[in-house]
Structure 1
Amino acid sequence: MSKTTKKKHVAREVLEEFVLPEGDQQIVRVVASRGGNLHEVETADGDRFLASMPTKFRKNIWIKRGDHVIVEPIEEGDKVRAEIQFVLYRDQVKYIIEEGAWPEAFEVLGLTNKQRDQNGHKTETKADPLTSNNNEATAAETDEDEDSDNDDDLFVNTNRPVMEMYTDTEDSSDEEEEEEYRQEDGEAIDE
Structure 2
Amino acid sequence: MSKATKRKHVTKEVLDDYVLPEGDKQVVKVLASRGNNLHEVETAEHDTYLVSMPTKYRKNVWIKRGDFVLVQPIEEGDKVKAEIIHILYKDQIRYIQQEGLWPATFASANHVTEETIPSDMLPPSDEDSDDEEPDLMMVNPNRRQVEFEESSTDEDSDNT
TM-score by shorter chain over 0.5: yes
Structure 2 CA distance for aligned equivalents of residues 88 and 111 of structure 1: 18
Q: Which residue of 1 aligns with 2:15?
A: 15
* Mapping 1:27-176, distance limit 5 Å: 27-106=27-106, 107-110=108-111
Q: Deviations over 1:9-52 (max 9, x none)?
A: 00000001111012110000000000000000000000000000
Per the alignment, do residues 101 and 111 of structure 1 end up closer, same or farther by CA in structure 2, a change over 3 Å counting?
farther
Structure 1: which 5+ runs fail to align? 113-133, 135-191
SS of structure 1 residue aligned to 2:15: helix
Structure 2 CA distance for aligned equivalents of residues 63 and 96 of structure 1: 19
Per the alignment, do residues 111 and 101 of structure 1 end up closer, same or farther by CA in structure 2, a change over 3 Å counting?
farther
Structure 1 CA distance for aligned equivalents of residues 2 and 22 of structure 2: 31
Structure 2 CA distance for aligned equivalents of residues 88 and 62 of structure 1: 12
Structure 1 CA distance for aligned equivalents of residues 46 and 111 of structure 2: 22
SS of structure 1 residue aligned to 2:104: coil
SS of structure 1 residue aligned to 2:24: coil
TM-score, scaled to structure 1: 0.57
Q: Deviations over 1:122-143 (max 9, x none)?
A: xxxxxxxxxxxx9xxxxxxxxx
Structure 2 CA distance for aligned equivalents of residues 76 and 18 of structure 1: 28
SS of structure 1 residue aligned to 2:51: strand
Q: Which amino acid aligns with 2:21?
A: P
Structure 2: which 5+ runs fail to align? 114-124, 126-160
Larger Rg: 1
Structure 2 CA distance for aligned equivalents of residues 15 and 110 of structure 1: 21
The Cα of 1:111 is off from its aligned counterpart by 7.7
Of structures 1 and 2, the one with the larger relative CO (CA 8 A, separation 6+) is 2
Q: Which amino acid aligns with 2:50?
A: L
Q: Which residue of 1 aligns with 2:154?
A: none
CA-atom RMSD, angstroms? 1.5
Q: Deviations over 1:92-118 (max 9, x none)?
A: 000000000000001232488xxxxxx
SS of structure 2 residue aligned to 1:76: coil
Aligned-pair identity in percent equals 65
Structure 1 CA distance for aligned equivalents of residues 51 and 29 of structure 2: 11
